[in-house]
Structure formats: C-alpha cells, structure tokens
Amino acid sequence: MIHDDEALDAWGFQDTRFEVQEDDSVVLTGNRYPLSGLRLPSLLPWFSKKLAVKLSGRNQNPPHYPPNIPASRAPAELLTELSTLLGAEHVSTEDRLRLRHGHGHTASEIWAIRYGEIPRVPDVVVFPKDHDEVAALVPVAQKLNAVLVPYGGGTNVTWALKVRPEEQRTVISVDLRRLSRCLKLSVEDGIAVFEAGIRGRDLEAHLAAHGLTMGHEPDSLEFSTLGGWIATNASGMKKNRYGNIEDLVLDVRAVTTSGEISRPESAPRESLGVPPLRCLLGSEGNLGIITQATIKVHRMPERREYGSLIFPSFDAGFHFLRELTHTGRLPASVRLMDNTQFQFGLALKPKTTGLLHRAKSAAEKLLVTKIKGFDPEKMCVVTLVYEGTSAEVEAEMRTTKRLGQKHGALDAGPSNGERGYQLTFGIAYIRDLTFTLKAIAESFETSVPWSHALDLYYRVKARIEREHAALGLPGKPFFTGRVTQLYHTGVCIYFYLGFYTEGVDDPVHAYELLEYAARDEILAAGGSLSHHHGIGKIRQQFLPRVYSPGALALQRAIKQAVDPTDIFAAGNHAMGDVSSGGGSS
C-alpha cells in the first residue's frame, strides 16, 4: 500500500522531477506546477557559477535504488495477530514498503537509499482504518515484545523515522493514511474534526468544497499530514493570517499505553490545568499516536492578491519587514529572499522568446540596475500574499507600498509575487537534481529575535565558508537564506546549504559537519534549535544547550509516566529510551 502517485527514491510525485537535457538545459517533468515542461537553459550554468565547478548532464551520479535492507524480524505469531486484527491485506513485510517507512527526507537519508544503505528499517507496516484499530495495536505490541512508530507522510527532515540500530524488538510502522476522513464540520462554529492521517492537500480540497480553508500551508502541504503537523509543532507560509499549528488545533484524540486521550467537546478557550494537547504538540511520536484533531476552519478569503518588491540589499529588505510587522497590517505571507535566492529565481525562468518579451526583459533590467542603481549582486526580493476582505487587502497593500518606498524598494508587480510563491512547491524537487549532478544540499531553519537576526544570518554564512575551506571541499559552498515567518519578537530564517561532492570520500559526513557548524553558530548567535522542523534524532546532541537539566528531566519524566516500557519507540528529541534514562543519539 504505497501511494501510487508518490516517488519512493526522491521528493514528491513519481511523474515529477528535474531532468537534464542533452544541451544541459533542465526540464521539470509532469504537468503539476507552473514550472513543469518549461526548458530552463540558465539553471546549470548558474549553479556551476555558484559552486565554482562545472555541472553537466554528461557527468552524472545515477542512483542505485533500492539498497539492500535487513530481513524482517517480525515473528509469525505477531503477523498472525496483526492480520487477525486488521486483515491480512493491511499488514505487510514487503521490502520497499518497509524501506520507505524507515526514512524521511534529510539529505543523508535520501543519499543512503540512492547510493548507500540503511542498516535498520521497520519489520512490518500496518494500516489501521480508525482510532479503535490503532488502540488495539497497543496490547498486541505489549504482549509480543514489539514497538510502534507512527507514520504520516514521511516528509520529516530530522531523522524522526530512523529506527535506532540498537532496537532489538520488532518495529511496527503504523501508517495512518486510511485515517483520512472528516468526522465533523460546522461552518457556524468554524471547527472541523479530521482524522490525523489526512494529507494537507486532501484536507484543503475537502474544506474548499464547503467554501472553507484551514489556512495552514507548509512547504510540504501536498504530502504531510494533519497528525504530522501536530507532532512536529509545524508552521505554514500563511501563519500571519491563520496562525501556526498550535493556534489552529483545539483538541486531539490520541492512543497511549496509559489509555485514550480524548474529550467529548472542545470549547473556544478553557483553563483546565495542563491540557494533554500541549504535551502532544511537538511530541514527535514519543508519547502515543494522534488519531484525530479538532481544528479551526475559516471561510475562504473574499480576495487574494500577490505582490513583490525589489530592495537594494538584504539589510534594506529586513528593515522593511521589521517596520511592516509592527504596523499590525501584515499580509498573509511575507518572505524576504537574499540575493542568491533572487538570482536562483531568475535562473529558473525559461528562455525569453519573441522580440516583445526580450525587449520587456531588457527594459526591466535597465530600470533596476541603471536607473535605480541596484547592484545585481546585492539586490533581493520580498514576495507578498494578501488574503482577507477587500478592505483588509487594500489597507495591507497601501501599507506595504508606503513602507516599501520608504526603504528604497521598487515594485516588481503581482505576477512576480505569485510566481515566487508558487515556485515553493516546484523547487522542492531541486535537491534531488543536485544529487544526480554530484552535489549534495539540504535545508535547515531557526527563529531569532529581531535584534540578532541580521548578525546571525551573516555569521552563519561566514562560518559555512570557513568550514568548507577547512574541510578542503571542492569549489565554493552554496549558501542562501530567506526570512519566511514574522513575529512581534523576531523572525524565522530558512537556510539552504550545499556543495559539490566529486572527489569527496564521504559527502554525507562532510555535509553533516557543515550543518553541525551552522547549527553551532546559530545557537551562539542567539537563534533557536528549530522553528518548525523539530528535533527528531538529528539535533538531540544540541538539547543540553537549549534546555536546563531540569527541563530535560521533565521531558523524560513525562515519557516515563505515559509510556514506561517505551512502546512508542520513535526515540526523538529528549524522550528517548526511558529504560536507559535518556534520549538516543
């Protein structure tokens, strides 16, 4: 039971990936995105320039998927019990299915399934159909010495699904895709109850049919699930209008070894001590399995508009963001891209054809670089999405226009804003293209107070350049950042990091050293360990730098109280194997 439209060895849909043509232009296959089917002649030359190496379709690194994986350890007695409970067709030990359920989407994991191996994966994958079947798995696991690891969309970038190599018990991956129904919908109250396995795109499609939206739009919307958003304490691109996941979820229903977590109704606000929801937000599979959630829903906005502003520098764009935030008139989405991402967007444009188009492009370049005097190596762009009533949108547009002019911006128009926003989903496939071109790349994020944000951005950039040189890696590092979410107290900064791998003995290890250095610098500069990706296993070693011993002990004590025998053995963040008294690394 693999989603037949999703790729197993790469991000996204099976029919969609960037392919290099004979002339070294690049085409995104399929027809799902505005970028699909367009010939991109500038992309490889631009990447080559940034990496200071020659990338070519004639020098590729073809994947060797699938890797060998260990045989299932699931005993016959367990398989019989599971089949009796769920039906044999909903229990599988098939190798590729087990492999997919044993990894997320970090660079190291995708590199491993393409070019290496994964030493431990789940032993069996099950597909319960509802809350009761999920609950019934717990006594089976307890009786037959097995553990349960929930699986939503498999999109995490934190090693959250990696099975701990030392785990000797049978590992059952609990795939929640069949839990995808809407159980309640009240337009009057603005609430809905969905099962936790529903994918973001399906949830939004269901609500749209009723003129509604949840408004939660992470980059992984197409594949990630409602339960996964809660378990990772996620954030979306339109959080300015709709809020983060903690603002949108009113309650949950969950399965734990201590019993079901649920309530008959959810009120608008309550004071009831420490609600279980707070423990499950960001729990990353360690305390139980979320099966349902009560969420806020909103009427579809009366009006949606896009916009974009070009600034002479990243600093100018940043100061614009800070002042805009404190006006109280933030558009639904505001994102500041640095110069590298600005250039990247230009490299993703198809070849200009026709005299009129070429003349328009030349005129735009003349206006920006000659008349306005912007340096092409410093300018950056802010993309904007406005949603709300017509009056709200008009007020926000007037405010951004006024502040943009104050900070020296040039209005780049709505079409560039819409293109920049829609590119979010298409460019997610770029990472896998870099692998085939003998490069490795990944993203990571942080949140940071306004007073430290610019310093942090430049410090991380400089640290990456120093570490890249110290490791003797070829060419130059690829580094870029964008400000993606705005708060009263600060911002989220989202980074991309990559380098060329030819001649590097262990590219994954080299990448991990670079990202470790970047994370070390982020913390030293006043940034958070994570804004929305979570901790998983990949950032556990940094936890003592952000939590006191007492705070870590509290997290482990919660795990000990709720799941003393570690049946929910995801092993993420500080809630590791309670029998050993701490998290696994």
Domain match, 152 and 261 both: no
Same domain, 186 and 290: yes
Percent of the chain with pLDDT over 70: 94
**106 within some domain:** no
Q: Indicate whether 407 pLDDT > 70.
A: yes
Residue 209 pLDDT > 90: yes
Task: Tell me how crowded residue 277 is: count the other CB atoms within 10 A of its CB.
Answer: 20
What is the 3 state secondary structure string of 23-36? CCCEEECCCCCCCC
The string of pLDDT tens digits covering residues 354-397 is: 544 544 455 466 557 666 788 999 999 999 999 999 999 999 99
The amino acid at residue 204 is: E
Cis ω for the linkage preceding 276 (within 30 of 0): no
How many C-beta neighbours within 10 Å does residue 402 have?
Answer: 11
* Encoded tokens for 28: 């995104």
Maximum Cα interatomic distance, the chain, rounded to a whole number of Å: 77
Of 136, 156, 175, the position where a domain reaches its end is: 175
Assess contact for 254 and 280: CB atoms under 8 A.
yes
Q: Is residue 15 part of a domain?
A: no
- Model confidence over 57-97: pLDDT tens digits? 999 999 999 999 999 999 999 999 999 999 999 999 999 99
CATH number of the domain where residue 470 is located: 3.30.300.330
Check which CATH number belongs to the domain holding 153 and give it.
3.30.43.10
Do 153 and 210 lie in one domain? The reply is: no
The more confident residue out of 578 and 12 is 12
- Give the model's pLDDT for residue 371: 60
Same domain, 268 and 233: yes
What was the pLDDT predicted at 357? 52
The one catalytic residue among 33, 306, 494, 500: 494
pLDDT, position 352 = 64
**156 and 208, same domain (yes or no):** no
Residue 226 CA, distance from chain mean position: 13
Residues 16-35 have a mean pLDDT of: 95
User: What is the mean pLDDT of the segment spanning 421-429?
Assistant: 89
Are residues 96 and 123 located together in one domain of the fold?
yes
In the predicted model, what is the mean pLDDT of the chain? 93
Q: Do residues 464 and 570 both lie within one domain?
A: no
Note whether 451 and 557 are same-domain residues. Answer: no
Predicted pLDDT of residue 582: 36
| Mean of pLDDT values over 548-568 | 95
What's residue 580's pLDDT? 38
Mean pLDDT across the stretch 24-52? 96
pLDDT for position 401: 97
Is residue 389 a part of any domain in this protein? no
386 as an active site residue: the answer is no
Say yes or no: 199 and 295 in one domain.
Answer: yes
pLDDT at 584: 33
My answer on whether 141 and 202 are in the same domain is no
519 in a domain, yes or no? yes
Residues 566 and 510 in one domain: no
Indicate whether 162 pLDDT > 60: yes
Contact 300, 238 (CB under 8 A): no
Full residue range of the structural domain in which residue 472 is found: 438-524
Neighbouring C-beta atoms of residue 391, cutoff 10 Å: 10
Give the domain-ending residue among 241, 274, 299. Answer: 299
Lowest-pLDDT range, 299-313, 418-432, 458-472? 418-432
Q: What is the CATH number for 224?
A: 3.30.465.10
Helices 450-470 & 314-325 angle (0-180, nearest 10): 150
User: Is residue 479 in a domain?
Assistant: yes
Residue type, 151: Y
Q: Which contacts of 564-568 are long-range, i.e. CB under 8 A and separated by 24 or more positions?
A: 564/257, 565/142, 565/257, 566/147, 567/138, 567/141, 567/142, 567/147, 567/148, 567/257, 568/147, 568/148, 568/149, 568/150, 568/256, 568/257, 568/285, 568/286, 568/287, 568/288, 568/289
For 465-487, how does the pLDDT look when each residue is reduced to its tens digit (9 = 90+)?
A: 999 999 999 999 999 999 999 99
How many structural domains does the chain have?
4
pLDDT at 3 over 70: no
Residue with the larger pLDDT of the pair 370 and 320: 320
Q: Is residue 67 part of a domain?
A: no
Which residues face 383 on adjacent strands? 308, 335
Q: Are residues 568 and 473 in the same domain?
A: no
Q: Quick check: helix, strand or coil at residue 184?
A: strand
Q: What is the pLDDT of residue 358?
A: 46
The residue among 264, 299, 334 that closes a domain is 299
